[in-house]
Amino acid sequence: MKPFFLSTPIYYVNAKPHLGHAYTTTAADAMIRFQKLMGRKTFFLTGTDEHGDKIVRAAQARQATPQAYVDEISAAFRELWEELDLSFDDFIRTTEPRHVTRVQEFLQRIYDRGDIYHGEYGGHYCFGCERFYTDKELKDGLCPDHLQAPEYIKEKNYFFRMSKYLEPLRRHIEERPDFIRPERYRNEVLGLLREDLGDLCISRPKSRLAWGIELPFDRDYVTYVWFDALLNYITALEWPEGERFRTFWPEAQHLVAKDILKPHAIFWPCMLLSAGLPLYRRLNVHGYWLVQDTKMSKSLGNVVDPLALAKTYGKGPFRYFLLREMPFGHDANVSEEALATRFNADLANDLGNLFSRVLSMTRKYFAGRVPEPGPIRSEDEDIHVLATEFLKNFQDLFGRFQFSMALESLWTLVRALNKYVDASQPWTLFKHERREELGTVMYTLLEAMRKVAVHLWPVMPEESEAMLAQLGERRPAEQWRHLADELLHWGLLAPGTEVAWASNLFPRIELKASATAPVLAGAVAQGQVAEPSALPPRAVAELLEFTDFQRLDLRVGTVVSAEPVKGADKLLHLHVDLGEDQARSIVAGIAQYWPPEALVGRQVVVVVNLKPRKLRGALSQGMVLAVHAPEGLRLLAPSDQVPPGSKVS
List, by residue number, the catalytic residues. Answer: 18, 21, 126, 129, 143, 146, 295, 298
CA angle (76 as vertex; 74, 77 as ends), nearest 5: 65
CA angle (62 as vertex; 61, 64 as ends), nearest 5: 115
How is residue 250 annotated by DSSP? Answer: G
CA angle (511 as vertex; 332, 514 as ends), nearest 5: 100
Residue 623, classed as helix, strand or coil, is: strand
Spatial separation of the C-alpha atoms in residues 31 and 87, rounded to whole Å: 11
* Contact between 222 and 204 (Cβ < 8 Å): yes
Spatial separation of the C-alpha atoms in residues 450 and 457, rounded to whole Å: 11
Cβ neighbours of residue 120 closer than 8 Å, sequence gap 6 or more = 154, 155, 156, 157
Identify each DSSP E strand in 437-531 by its residue range. 524-525, 528-529
Length of the chain: 649
Q: What does the buried/exposed string (b/e) look like for 19-35 if buried means 16 or more CB atoms within 10 Å of the residue's CB?
A: bbbbbbbbbbbbbbbbb
List the beta bridge partners of residue 586.
574
* Contact between 253 and 5 (Cβ < 8 Å): yes
| SS3 labels along 184-239 | HHHHHHHHHHCCCCCCEECEEECCCCCCCCEECCEEEEEECHHHHHHCHHHHCCCC
